[in-house]
Structure 1
Amino acid sequence: MVLPSIHLLVMKAVSSLRNLETLTLGKGQLGDSFFHALGDCSMLKNLNVNDATLGNGIQEIPINHDRLCHLQLTKCRVMRISVRCPRLENLSLKRSNMAQAMLNCPLLRLLDIGSCHKLTDAAIRSAAISCPQLASLDMSNCSCVTDETLREISLTCANLHILNASYCPNISLESVRLSMLTILKLHSCEGITSASMSAIMHSYMLEVLELDNCSLLTSVSLDLPRLQNIRLVHCRKFADLNLRSIMLSSIMVSNCPALHRINITSNSLQKLALKKQENLTTLALQCQSLQEMDLTDCESLTNSICDVFSDGGGCPKLKSLVLDNCESLTAVRFCSTSLVSLSLVGCRAITALDLACPSLELVCLDGCDHLEKASFCPVALRLLNLGICPKLNMLSIEAPFMVSLELKGCGVLSEATINCPLLASLDASFCSQLKDDCLSATTASCPLIGSLILMSCPSVGSDGLFSLRRLPHLTVLDLSYTFLMNLQPVFDTCLQLKVLKLQACKYLTDTSLEPLYKDGALPALQELDLSYGTLCQSAIEKLLACCRHLTHLSLNGCVNMHDLNWGCSGGELYEFPSKFSSAAVFSHENLPVSTEQPNRLLQNLNCVGCPNIRKVVIPPVARCLLLSSLNLSLSSNLKEVDVVCFNLCFLNLSNCCSLEMLKLECPRLTSLFLQSCNIDEETVEAAISQCGMLETLDVRFCQKICSISMGGLRAACPSLKRIFSSLSAS
């Protein structure tokens, strides 16, 4: 109710609703007669008055009722109040500005006088001790309260279980004995110091203790058998915490910059977070149930912390440990049978890591870029990435469940013992110090490796390659950027190989790949990458002619490649009958049939940046029935492209600035890229007219094709959905 005539309306309600049990009102003035009339509502049990003026503001307001159980007068303006309610159990006077409250409520169990700033210490004492059954008392923000009042309350209210004395600067708990307390809140109490802990120790039933913002508190030492929850937040001088409680299950310690020592004993604590305790140097735990520990940004912790979390250190069930950004750690060693997850992110000073944790499944080492020696023996890791540790030079791994190991970028790694019987993938890219003996030992102990990346491992030679015979499941091998001259060990031992990458292997000769196209080596090979190599044109032609089982071939940057002409047979260009139409060319009846040359399985051909290639001809006789992607971009001297390919979907000729002739019969082509090509619009229109499914055409920066030509291009190929030109995308 918010009307000015609230008193009249309430009086009418009281007189007409005699059986009313709950009445809530506020924001107005209630006269003395209203409270006298309450006695006529004999069934009333709950009365809530909020933000109201009681009486004329200077008189005493009596509230007398025989059945009232719950009375709430919040934010009310009144000089004095007198409450006589024999059945009243809950009374809240929160934020009301009365100077005195006389209570005669023998059954009252909950009293809230929080933020009643005008109540004197004597008035608070008189009100509280008049309620001998009091179990919960909130006197927060009552700045006049003293220890004398608390002592009187402790003597009178033997059943007091809950006390909130927060923001009471004059209390120190000196000689206060509240033995039955279960919850004690003392936020921002300037008088609470380390000496106050002796009084709290007498509250042997205490379960919850909150000491936030107690600015003079320097240490807490408590042995309370029932304590379950403690808070210590923003205690700027707090330096030492010593807790002993078998039931302790929650600890909140935050923003205590002086804290340097913690000793906790508990059988119930399962999670503990002590983040950003920058001066914490000593941590002792006897926590039999602790499973998760977070010490992020505790930058003063030293190597001795490892003993706390190792077997015998007091946390036998610990599963997760976070030590992120603990920058004082230099040598980390954990021996734990329970640890499952360990995070050392940002621990830049660590140079040595020794983990003997047979249950460890996850380890995070991001930012440990000074790590030099690492041992994982034994661990239960399935995946491990050490490529973020560029200074690692010694490694030992015993991981019976590991399937993937990445050492990419460990350029100074010279000693590695890897015992991972289930390892399926090993990436040792840029491990320039990795030698044959190490590779040989690894293949002996990890026989299930299927993918082996040795890119930029110049120390690997023939002896190391011969050890690959121990890997019967090897299907992917990357030897790019190595100094290998002889690949015979690979051809002899890797019979199941499907992917072979030999990018920039400058020391391979023109005969190095002869076993592939002469002897039928590596019969399962599907993908071959010879980019940036020095093979001659003849070797490339023989490879293209004979290795028809390849599905992906990359010849990017091959300077010795001059032409890609599959229209020649025995030195003569294959001629098709002039009567064949495009549809006839692709019919199975009219395709030239050769019993000696089966269909090629090639699907993807990349010849990016081949500076000397001038002509590309792929007619039906090449039998590239599965070719779907052809990339010839950045081949600056390419002048002529003539492709007849039934399944080609993607063709990239971007930056082929010398391109003059383009002939296409590719009925399934969907994307054609001609960016920065010096080709005229008539040639493009003729080419795309034979591509009935083309959707995307890129002619940006083609100087001979202007924006007004877009209509002609769409007319030549009605299926076009997107044309990218240098002026606009349409």
Structure 2
Amino acid sequence: MEDLPEPLLADIIKRITVSSDLNSLCLVSKRLCAVEAEHRGAIRVGCGVDPTTEALTSLFSRFSNLWKVEINYSGWTPSHGDQVNNQGILVLSHHCPLLSDLTLSFCAHIDDAGLSYLAYCKKLRSLRLSFAPAITSTGIFRVAVSCCHLSVLHLVDCIAIESVEWLDYLGRYGSLGELVLKDCDGISQYDLLKFGPGWRKLQRFEFEINGTYWLSQRPDPSYVVGYPYSYDICCDNLKDLRLAHIVTKPEIGLRFLLGKCKALETLYLEYVIGLNEDEMIALFQRCCNLKTISLRLMPLRCEDHWFRTALTDDSLEVLALSFPMLQVVELTFTFCEPSYPTEIGFTQKGILTLIQSCPIRALVLNGASIFDDEGMKGLSSTKFLEKLDLVDCCSISDAGMYLIAQAPCLSHLTLRECSSVTDDGLAALARSQKLESLTVIGCRWISEEGVQGAAKSVCYSLETESHDSLKGMNVYRKIRQSP
């Protein structure tokens, strides 16, 4: 190894992606240690790392070409010792001139003063904050002003951020291409209108609120009854949109986005209260490049006075006609009683029409009590389906497993909480010898012995999942406190 030219050594090191392997490699020789340090571009710091100024100075001086740093204290307790604080960010900013991607997770001892040191990181393009309880709007504003190349900003569970002057500044003068906001209680969906011209540059946007959000609707303080509202905002470049767990109305809120998007490739709408089917159909007719769609729905009192999910087969029909490139579909239903099938606005026929009309390679059906063995017969003839997830689908039985085993391209199958499937159904899959992977979780009539031989790779668990986990909700949101 000592005789190898440095470019070849560097190439070998770049192919090693596991941190523990890289650390072991450094013990082989001083030369390897030096070459690895010079070419390492990313590092993760957390519990167990000495956070003193001297130790961090030594660490970051050794890896002078770092461009990506993650400081993560998930699971931290006082017994782990001190965390990296503001002084640590100062050390980082002085010794890592190439830093362009920074993630701070569960860093309770870094506040606005620490963020202000990022002004020295002239190349910073991506900042992700997850549970940073001491960081306020002031710190975000300082980053917005000083880091002129910032293009990615994630704020997750940042409980002290309230005012949104930083959002107005980034909209006017910044170049954000990706904005993710989750569980930041001080930022309402109406505040996001202040992003103004910034929407034109944005390519990815996520907004999520957890808890029992549908029980209390926060009004827009600027809304005036009878005023002809219209938001003159352009988001023609938005390709990836996710709205989760929000209440929106025709005149106000993020619902306006659904009427402005033209270039969407990925769309996630998760338990959005206030969806209007006519608006959704118009959106589907505009966005012909859609490749991935996830619809998570719950029954509500609709405009036609029916108690059902907001979307019906009319939406599925437009999807089937408008999206020649649609490849990934998720349809999740929660709080829908199997004994009242009309609570789901879709029918089995509508779902099959969509699947058979588009080149869908991955399908998730969750809580689809309307989908039974006859539906599985329809799926068995689809030409492109490679991955199928069936979750809480109580109407699919062993007969459905016999049928889906005939699907020509199916190679990955997941069954979660499917109470009508037994070992007999798995036997049909085992005989087909088609599956690369099989995951079975919480299916009480399927035994560990029953899954053996059904696929090349098998994951099995009898543990049942909580409703939140099964449906992708967080109704009982945990409010974290600063250490």
Normalising to structure 1: TM-score of the pair? 0.38
Q: What letter matches 1:539 in structure 2? A: L
Task: Identify the residue that residue 424 of structure 1 maps to in structure 2.
Answer: 177
Which residue in the other structure is 1:346 paired with?
84
> What is the CA-CA distance between 1:547 and the residue it aligns to?
0.6
Higher RCO structure, 1 or 2 (CA under 8 Å, sep 6+): 2
Q: Could you say which structure has the larger radius of gyration?
A: 1
Counterpart in the other structure of 1:439: 192
Displacement of 1:480 in angstroms is 0.5
User: Matched residue of 1:474: which SS?
Assistant: coil
1:559-610 per-position Cα deviation (integer Å, ceiling 9, x unaligned): 23388634999xxxx9xxxxxxxxxxxxxxxxxxxxx998313222212344
Give the equivalent residue in structure 1 for 2:412.
650
Equivalent position to 2:111, from 368, 371, 389: 371
Distance 1:696 1:388, change over 3 A: closer
Q: Which residue of 1 aligns with 2:153?
A: 405
Q: Find the aligned partners of 2:125 and 2:357 in 1 and give their Cα distance.
A: 42
> 2:357 aligns to what?
599
Match of 2:479 in 1: none
- Bigger mean CA deviation after superposition, 377-386 or 447-456: 377-386
The residue correspondences of 1:239-638 to structure 2 (distance < 5 A) are: 294-295=53-54, 346-347=84-85, 361=99, 367-369=107-109, 371=111, 375=116, 380=122, 381-394=124-137, 395-396=140-141, 397-398=144-145, 399-416=147-164, 417=166, 418-419=169-170, 421-435=174-188, 438-445=191-198, 447-456=200-209, 469-486=233-250, 489-508=256-275, 513-516=280-283, 520-534=285-299, 536=308, 539-548=311-320, 549=323, 550-558=326-334, 559=336, 560-561=343-344, 565-566=348-349, 599-610=357-368, 613-614=371-372, 617-619=375-377, 624-638=382-396
Shift in alpha-carbon separation, 1:652–1:539, aligned structure 2, 3 A: same
- Give the % identical residues: 15
Distance across 2 between alignment mates of 1:446 and 1:491: 13
Residue 524 of structure 1 deviates from its aligned partner by 2.2
For 2:83 and 2:446, how far apart are their aligned partners in 1? 56
Partners of 1:412 and 1:697 lie apart in 2 by 43
Deviation at 1:433, TM superposition (A): 2.0
Residues 507, 387 of structure 1: CA spacing in aligned structure 2 closer, same or farther, 3 A cutoff?
Answer: same
**1:623 offset after TM fit, Å?**
7.6
Could you report, residue by residue, the CA deviation over 1:307-341 in whole angstroms, capped at 9, with x for unpaired residues?
Answer: xxxxxxxxxxxx99xxx9xxxxxxxxxxxxxxxxx
CA distance in 2, matches of 1:649, 1:403: 38
Conserved 8 A contact 1:563-1:616: no
Report the 3-state secondary structure (helix = DSSP H, G, I; strand = E; otherwise coil) of the residue aligned with 2:257: helix
Structure-1 residue corresponding to 2:476: none
CA distance in 2, matches of 1:703, 1:392: 50
Q: CA deviation at 1:451?
A: 1.0
- Find the aligned partners of 1:615 and 1:537 in 2 and give their Cα distance: 23
Kept in 1, the 8 Å contact 2:269–2:294? The answer is yes
1:114-133 matched pairs, under 5 angstroms: none
1:78-107, Cα deviation, whole Å (9 max, x unpaired): xxxxxxxxxxxxxxxxxxxxxxxxxxxxxx
* Structure 1 unpaired stretches of 5+: 1-275, 279-293, 299-318, 325-343, 575-595, 659-676
Q: Contact 1:620 / 1:645 at 8 angstroms: preserved in 2?
A: no
Q: Which amino acid in the other structure matches residue 422 of structure 2?
A: N
Q: TM-score, normalized by length of structure 2?
A: 0.54
Q: Deviation digits for residues 356-393 of structure 1, max 9, x if unmatched?
A: 9xx78467766244626755668522222233422433
Offset at residue 697 of structure 1 (A) = 5.8
Secondary structure at 2:329's aligned position in 1?
strand
Which region of structure 1 is more displaced relative to structure 2, 476-485 or 360-369?
Answer: 360-369
Counterpart for residue 23 of structure 2: none
Does the Cα contact within 8 Å between 1:369 and 1:388 map onto a contact in 2? no
What secondary structure, in the 3-state scheme, does the structure 2 residue paired with 1:453 have? strand
- C-alpha distance in 2, partners of 1:645/1:468? 48
C-alpha separation between the residues in 1 aligned to 2:221 and 2:264?
17
Residues 1:474 and 1:706: Cα distance change in structure 2 (over 3 Å): closer
Which residue number in structure 1 is paired with residue 422 of structure 2?
678
Q: Deviations over 1:257-288 (max 9, x none)?
A: xxxxxxxxxxxxxxxxxxx999xxxxxxxxxx
Matches within 5 A, 1:63-212: none
Whether the 8 Å contact between 1:421 and 1:447 is mirrored in structure 2 is no
Q: Which secondary structure state, in structure 2, belongs to the residue aligned with residue 423 of structure 1?
A: coil
- Change over 3 Å in CA distance of 1:554–1:437 after alignment to 2: closer
Query: C-alpha root-mean-square deviation of aligned residues, in Å?
Result: 5.4
Q: Does the CA-based 8 Å contact 1:633-1:656 persist in structure 2?
A: yes
Q: Which has the higher strand share?
A: 1
Is the CA contact 1:434–1:460 (under 8 Å) kept in the aligned structure 2?
no
Q: Which residue identity is paired with 1:628?
A: E
Instruction: Give the direction of change, closer, same or farther, for the CA distance of 1:635–1:369 in structure 2 (3 Å limit).
Output: farther
How far apart are residue 466 of structure 1 and its match? Answer: 7.2
**Structure 1 residue matching 2:317: 3-state secondary structure:** helix
Q: CA deviation at 1:496?
A: 0.7
Helix, strand or coil: the match of 1:547? helix
Larger relative helix fraction: 2
